[in-house]
Amino acid sequence: MHTLSQKTVLSLDAVTTSGSGLTRPESVWWHEGDLYTSDAKGAIAHVRADGATRLLGLPGALPDGVRPNGIARRPDGSFIFANLGEEGGVWSVDTTGRVQPLVRSVDGRDLPSTNFVLLDEAGRLWICVSSTTPGCSAPGYHFDRAEATGYIAVVDTDGSSRIVADHIGWTNECRLDPTGTVLYVNETIGRRMIRFDVNERLELSNRQTVAEFESGIWPDGLELDAAGDAWITSPISNRVVQVFTATGRYRVILEDYDEESLRTAEEAFQRDAFHRTHFYRSKANFLKHLTSLTFSGDQRTAYLGSLNSDAVYQFSVDGLIGAAARG
């Protein structure tokens, strides 16, 4: 048992929403008071501080086989997204809404269905591929708990690329610490968060497990707070989990699940009959399949992306970040 408490820190009453009309806002990004999400119709959706929502991509902008997942904003206001669809790779959305491929291969190896992208401060692109198993992007894909074919790749500013870590149990979101010397990564089907040391040549070493998660948690979204701790989202159970990276212990901040849906998914997971549909069909009272988390610039508010909501969830994190929260 690694949890600090069996009780959630906040109730669902603490959660409100922003925006409207979103389609699969899996990844959420905050910038200067506005929110941006991946969108299955318009590539990127823009939610202004006043709640008004628009799509960056025009209708029909997304080609067949392209499904935006993890996103990253460039300094010029354009976006990059990981394509979870069968076409795979990393794509870009310019400020006019034009969608086009950006990275289709790494070191001569075609990028398959791609989960997440991270653009670091030096302009290098970190790419998370969850699995290389054929058909892994299909709605009914069957997860194998013993499979660890996911990997992480880096594209440098000169365009050179290489795989820097592999044998990962369904690579999901990753984050660099502020020094750029530690990379945290979620293994969704491996049910753990791992970390690597990063040297100046962007080589990863000293792989360690930071936290292993118990029943009902499939780590998906990952963000670091100002204290260096990690915040994890889990679909199905709709949990937001705060992981204290120094100890690997964690506590559940929020959760929202239907007991039968969660029990069905957990039983299927334990007998290796777990499918992608479990992430989409589970029920809850309010939260709909949480997948990502980001903070406002002052780190007083957290925002949540999801698979099925038409808006972005938000809640206050005042008093939850830093030494005082370790209790």
Number of Cβ within a 10 Å radius of residue 197: 13
Question: What is the Cα–Cα distance from 283 to 50, expressed in whole angstroms?
Answer: 30
The whole-model pTM stands at 0.96
Q: Which of 130, 138, 126, 124 is nearest to 112 (CA)?
A: 130
- Contact between 27 and 312 under an 8 Å Cβ cutoff? The reply is no
Give the chain's mean pLDDT.
Answer: 94
In angstroms, the Cα distances linking 289 to 117, 162, 209, 266, 292 are 20, 32, 25, 15, 10
Mean pLDDT to the nearest integer, 30-57: 96
pLDDT tens digits, one per residue of 143-199: 999 999 999 999 999 999 999 999 999 999 999 999 999 999 999 999 999 999 999
Q: Which of 320, 319, 316, 322 is nearest to 304 (CA)?
A: 316
Cα radius of gyration rounded to whole Å, the chain: 18
Tokens standing for residue 224? 């670091």
Torsion of CA 192, 223, 49, 255, to 10 degrees: 30
pLDDT for 326? 53
The structural domains of the chain, with segments of one domain joined by +, span 12-325
Check pLDDT > 90 for residue 140. no
For 307, the 3-state DSSP assignment is coil
Mean pLDDT to the nearest integer, 282-299: 96
- The DSSP call for residue 104 is -
Check pLDDT > 50 for residue 327. no
Which CATH number is 12-325 given? 2.120.10.30
Q: Which of 134, 162, 161, 163 is nearest to 147 (CA)?
A: 134
**What length does the chain have?**
327
Check pLDDT > 70 for residue 6. no
Strand partners, 192: 187, 212
- The DSSP call for residue 275 is B
Q: Positive or negative, the Cα torsion across 113, 119, 124, 130?
A: negative
Share of the chain above pLDDT 70, in %: 97
- Contact between 81 and 45 under an 8 Å Cβ cutoff? The reply is no
Question: What is the Cα–Cα distance from 64 to 124, expressed in whole angstroms?
Answer: 28
Cβ-based burial of 296 (10 A; exposed 0-12, middle 13-18, buried ≥19):
middle
Q: How many CA atoms are closer than 13 Å to the CA of 181, on its beta-carbon side?
A: 1
Q: How many CA atoms are closer than 13 Å to the CA of 246, on its beta-carbon side?
A: 5
pLDDT tens digits, one per residue of 57-111: 987 889 999 999 999 999 999 999 999 999 999 999 999 999 999 999 998 999 9
